[in-house]
Amino acid sequence: MAEQQSFEFTFPEPTLPQLWTPDDIFNACDFDTIRRFKEDHRVERKRVTVSQRDLVDYLSMWANTQPSGGIVFIGIGNDGEIIGCKASEESHRNDLRAVRRLCSDARVEFKDVAVTNSKDADDFVIVMRVYYREDKLVETDFGEAFVREGSEKRRLTEAEKREIRLQKGELDVESEAITALKFPQDFDSALMDEFRRQYVAKRRLERQYSVTDVLALCKLGKQRASGFEPNLACALLFANDPRAVVPGAFIRVIRYHGIEERFGQSQNVLSDEFFDGPLATQLVNAETYINSQVRSFIRLGVDGRFQNNPEYPKTVWLEAIVNAIMHRSYNLKNMNIFVKMFEDRMVIESPGAFMPPTTAATVYESHNPRNPNLMWAMFYFNRVQCAYEGTRRMREEMRHANLPDPIFDQMQIGTFKIIVTLKNNVEHRKFYIRSEAAHAINPEIYETLTESEKLIVNYLADQKKVTVKDAGLVIGRDWRGASAVLTSLESKGVVERTAGKYRSRHRYYYLKRPLKQ
C-alpha cells in the first residue's frame, strides 16, 4: 500500500488591497505592505511622536468598529512618509505599547516590522492590531468612545453609546422603570384585564391571578411594598399615551404617487396617517388602514371566474410591521416607525440596528429579539407566534405569490435603522383589472379588453374620471389613439361619457357602474 503523503498548504493573501481584512494586513505585514496601504476603513497612520493619551482614542475606535477592528502603523506620516521609530526614546515606545492600561477593555497586539526610512536608513515601524469587541462598548478611561467612519475617527454621543450597549446586551431598556406615568391611573384598565384573561387561558392556570400578578409574571414590572412598578415595556403595551415616555412610539403610514419620494414643490404624498396608543391598538388600527390601501387585482381564471390577487400577501407586510414594533430600538425615543407605500414597493423602516450576531445576510436563520418581554407579551395578544419562523414565512409567502424575496437592509445616517422592502410585480399586474372595478365588467367583456383598455380601467379605479388627454398620457398614445380606446370601452358598456363638445377639455369618461367599495 502506497504511503500517504501530506503537504503543507496556506491560502494565498488576496491580491487586491480592497479585499484584505485587518487580519490579512497584520499577519502578512512587511515593508511592502506598510507602503501599500493608505489610511482607510482598516488602517490609521501615526508618527512615533504620538502621545499615549492620543493613541488610546484609536484603541476605542477600532474596538468599536465592525466587523474586524483595524490597524495603526506607528512611525508613518499622514502623507505616507516612512519616518520610523528607531530615533524615539525607548521609554516612549514602551508607553505606546502599554496604551491598553488607558483602555482596559480593548484587545490589542503589537509587532515591529523592519523598514527603510525616508533617509534610506534601516528602521522599524510599530504595527498595532486592535480587535473588534462584539460583546461590549469599549470606552477609554476618560469616559470617551469612538468609531471609524470611512477614514475618520468620530466621537460617540451618550445616546449612541447607550444604543450600542443595548445592541450588545449590556443594557435592558425594556425593563427600565418609568416615573413619568402613574399606575394604574395612566394605564388602560380594560386592555390590561383582557391581557390577564388571555394569559390565564393560554397558560391554563387554575387559580385566579390579578392584573398586577400577571404583569409581574410577564416581567412587565415589579411588585413593591408601595405597589406595582411598571417598566417601559408595560408602558408601551398598556399606557393610555405611550408617547409620554417614548415620543416616537407610533407608526406613520405614507402613500406616494409614483416610485420615488419627492420633496418641496414636487412633493408626491397622496396620504399621510399616524397611528399611536398602546402597541396592540396602534397595530390593529394601522393594519386596518394599510389593508384598505393595498391594491387588489383581478384576472380571469381558467374556470371562467375572476380571481383576486393582492399586490402583497397580507401575512408578509403585517409580519414586517409586527417585527418593526417588536424589534425596534426604544432607546431611540424620538424616532418612529415608517411604512412607505410606492407604486412598485412597500418599505418598512424601524429605528435601531440588527441585534448581533444577526445581520441582513443571516436574518432568515437568526432569532435574537431586542425586546423579548415585549415580544412574549404580544404573544398573549395573539399578535406574534414566537416560533422563530416569521422571516422565513415572509419569504415563502412572497415566493408563493411569484414576488421577489423580502429585502432586509441596515442603514446608518447618524443612527441605525432597519429597512424591509417588499417589491410588487407592478409591470405585470398593471395589465390586470383592479378589484374595485372588476364587478362593473362581466367575464365575456373582460376577455376582449386590450392592455390599453385595462390600463384605463385601472386608472379610473383610482381617479374616478379621465379625459382623452389624460388617457393618452396613461397609455402613451396621441389624442386620436386615446379617443379610439375610450370609444371602444364605451361600446363595450364599460365606461360612459359626459355631454359636451367632441374635443372639449371638460368632457370626461367614467365607469358605467359605480366602484365597489
Task: Pick 505 or 5 by higher pLDDT.
Answer: 505
**241-257 as b/e, with b when 16 or more CB fall inside 10 Å?**
bbbebbebbbbbbbbbe
Q: Answer yes or no: is pLDDT of 467 > 60.
A: yes
Check residue 221 and give its pLDDT. Answer: 94
Q: How many residues in total does the chain contain?
A: 517
Of the listed ranges 319-328, 360-369, 402-411, the least confidently predicted one is 360-369
How, if at all, do strands 296-300 and 306-310 pair?
A: antiparallel
The pLDDT confidence band at residue 337, using thresholds 50, 70 and 90, is very high
Q: Answer yes or no: is pLDDT of 9 > 60.
A: no
Task: Pick 160 or 113 by higher pLDDT.
Answer: 113
Cα of 368 vs its chain's centroid, Å: 15
Check residue 250 and give its pLDDT. Answer: 98
CATH code of 251-371+385-427, in short, is 3.30.565.60
Check residue 388 and give its pLDDT. Answer: 64
CATH 3.40.50.720, applies to 431-511: no
List of residues 6+ apart from 390 with CB closer than 8 A: 319, 322, 323, 384
Domain ranges (residues) in the chain? 17-156, 174-244, 251-371+385-427, 431-511
pTM beyond 0.75: no
Whole-number Å distance between alpha carbons of 327 and 237:
14
Check residue 128 and give its pLDDT. Answer: 98
Of the listed ranges 57-71, 194-208, 305-319, the least confidently predicted one is 305-319
If we measure between CA atoms, which residue out of 113, 2, 203, 19 comes closest to residue 214?
203
Check residue 99 and give its pLDDT. Answer: 96
When computed from its CA atoms, the radius of gyration of the chain, rounded to whole angstroms, is 31
Task: Pick 77 or 452 by higher pLDDT.
Answer: 77
Share of the chain above pLDDT 90, in %: 54
Query: Mean of the pLDDT values across residues 410-423?
Result: 87
Check residue 433 and give its pLDDT. Answer: 60
Check residue 462 and give its pLDDT. Answer: 73
Mean pLDDT of the residues in the chain: 87
Check residue 451 and give its pLDDT. Answer: 79
If we measure between CA atoms, which residue out of 246, 233, 275 comes closest to residue 369?
233
Check residue 472 and give its pLDDT. Answer: 87
If we measure between CA atoms, which residue out of 189, 149, 173 comes closest to residue 39?
149
Angle, CA 108 vertex, CA 106 and CA 109 arms, to 5°? 170
188, 190, 194, 199: CA torsion to nearest 10: 50
CATH fold for domain 17-156:
3.30.950
Whole-number Å distance between alpha carbons of 364 and 282:
26
The pLDDT confidence band at residue 283, using thresholds 50, 70 and 90, is very high
Check residue 307 and give its pLDDT. Answer: 60
Q: Same topology for domains 17-156 and 251-371+385-427, yes or no?
A: no
Check residue 515 and give its pLDDT. Answer: 56
Strand partners, 230: 221
Residue 39 parent element (H or E): none
Whole-number Å distance between alpha carbons of 365 and 229:
36
Q: Answer yes or no: is pLDDT of 441 > 60.
A: yes
Query: Mean of the pLDDT values across residues 75-81?
Result: 93
Q: Answer yes or no: is pLDDT of 13 > 90.
A: no
Query: Mean of the pLDDT values across residues 161-175?
Result: 85
Q: Answer yes or no: is pLDDT of 415 > 80.
A: no
If we measure between CA atoms, which residue out of 94, 71, 78 comes closest to residue 46?
78
